[in-house]
Amino acid sequence: MRISTRTTPTWSGSSSMTCPPAAKEPRWNPFQALQLGQPPAVTAAYAATVRAQTALLATLNTKIGRLEEQVEAHFGQHPDAEIYLSQPGLGLVLGARVLAEFGDAPTRYADAKARRNYAGTSPVTRASGRKKVVLARYARNHRLADALHRQAFCALRASPGARASYDSLRARGMGYNAALRQLANRLVGILHGCLKTHTLYDEATAWSH
């Protein structure tokens, strides 16, 4: 009978076997691996494009900064600027945009409803027989509507009353855009009241009813 010379496993106890530790494999590093590339001429063309776009963005940022300075200098001189800046969600640039789109003629809007209709925040109700549908107003000043939509979004964090009103609309099953549009409609009415009475925005007064 031949006796094998192979090393037999070492048993520890009665139910487990101790095996030699496995050798650790080196981790694959994707940043050190060979990357697929493009021909030198294509790489150079892409590099030139990126440099040109970077220069355009730098120039655009510079122009935007200068434009903001001009807006601040001229908007601050308007007699209604302080009222607009007191509204929740309106800052320097957005406030100037809303003022420019609404205009500053004191008798242009007979009431808050007329201002809302021009802004396009008030809904359109269509009835036929027993059917009644409330739709968004699409015939509107889109630049102003976009600015008011942004104001409503920013007001969610600036005004507890605006936040509570929005949450109430959402709890009733209203969609995100529809709730923001209705909140913007409420904010337009508040702005109209402040402009009519020449008073600054007051959180308690605005959302007391």
Helix (H, G, I), strand (E, B) or coil at 3: coil
Domain that holds residue 191: 75-206
The answer on pLDDT for 166 being more than 70 is yes
Residue 47 is assigned to a structural domain of this protein? no
User: Is residue 173 one of the residues assigned to a domain?
Assistant: yes
Question: Pairing state of beta strands 16-18 and 124-128?
Answer: unpaired
In a domain, 133, yes or no: yes
Highest-confidence range of 51-55, 70-74, 114-118, 171-175, by mean pLDDT?
A: 51-55
Residue 20 has what pLDDT? 63
Give the pLDDT of residue 14: 52
Establish if 70 belongs to a structural domain. no
Q: Are strands 10-12 and 124-128 parallel, antiparallel or unpaired?
A: unpaired
Is 25 a domain residue? no
Two structure tokens written together for 18:
């101790």
pLDDT at 16: 53
Which segments of 22-105 are extended strands (E)? none
- Whether this prediction's pTM lies above 0.85 is answered by no
Q: Report if residue 106 sits inside a domain.
A: yes
Q: Which of 2-11, 14-23, 70-79 has the lowest mean pLDDT?
A: 2-11
Q: What is the pLDDT of residues 71-85, one digit of tens each?
A: 888 888 999 999 999
Average pLDDT of the residues in 165-179: 92
pLDDT of residue 34: 73
Residue 162 lies in a domain: yes
pLDDT in tens, 112-152: 999 998 888 877 666 666 766 666 666 678 899 999 999 99
Task: Tally the domains of the chain.
Answer: 1
What count of other Cβ atoms lies within 10 Å of the Cβ of residue 84?
24
Render the burial of 155-182: b for 16+ CB within 10 Å, e for the rest.
bbeebebbbebbeebeeeeeeeeebbbb
Burial of 138 (0-12, 13-18, 19+ CB in 10 A): exposed
Mean per-residue pLDDT for 87-107? 92
